[in-house]
Amino acid sequence: MTRSAPWLLALIVWNATFDVQVRRAANESTSAHLVEWAIGHPAARLSDTLTPRVGEAARWSSAVTGVVLVLALAWRRRAAVPA
């Protein structure tokens, strides 16, 4: 395993988890706005509904990536130690 492989893996994991969570949050926010519009109520602002979810997605993605990075670095260190 090359020296940059754990960091590359961490970057891929962060991007993938963040993208999935933001997409899910955007879909749920859009659905909620459509429901509010359909029943005649004013929809909430995106900054009230979507912005907090994006921050939550960033924190969750960072936590998951931290675990993956620690495990990948530990695996690399263990693989480098001769038996």
Q: What is the pLDDT of residue 83?
A: 62
**pLDDT exceeds 60 at position 1:** no
Q: What is the pLDDT of residue 6?
A: 86
Contacts of the segment 74-77: beta carbons below 8 A, 24+ positions apart:
75/1, 76/1, 76/5, 76/6
Closest Cα to residue 64, out of 5, 12, 23, 24? 12
For the chain, what is the largest distance between any 2 Cα atoms, rounded to a whole number of angstroms? 70
Q: What is the pLDDT of residue 16?
A: 96
Task: Report pLDDT digits (tens) over 46-65.
Answer: 888 899 999 999 999 999 99
Distance CA 24, CA 70 (A): 27
pTM for the predicted model, two decimal places: 0.79
**pLDDT exceeds 80 at position 81:** no
Q: How many CB atoms lie within 10 A of CB 30?
A: 14
Cβ atoms 65, 13 nearer than 8 A: yes
The number of distinct structural domains making up the chain is: 1
Domain encompassing residue 38: 5-80
Task: Report pLDDT digits (tens) over 20-48.
Answer: 999 999 999 999 889 989 999 987 888 88
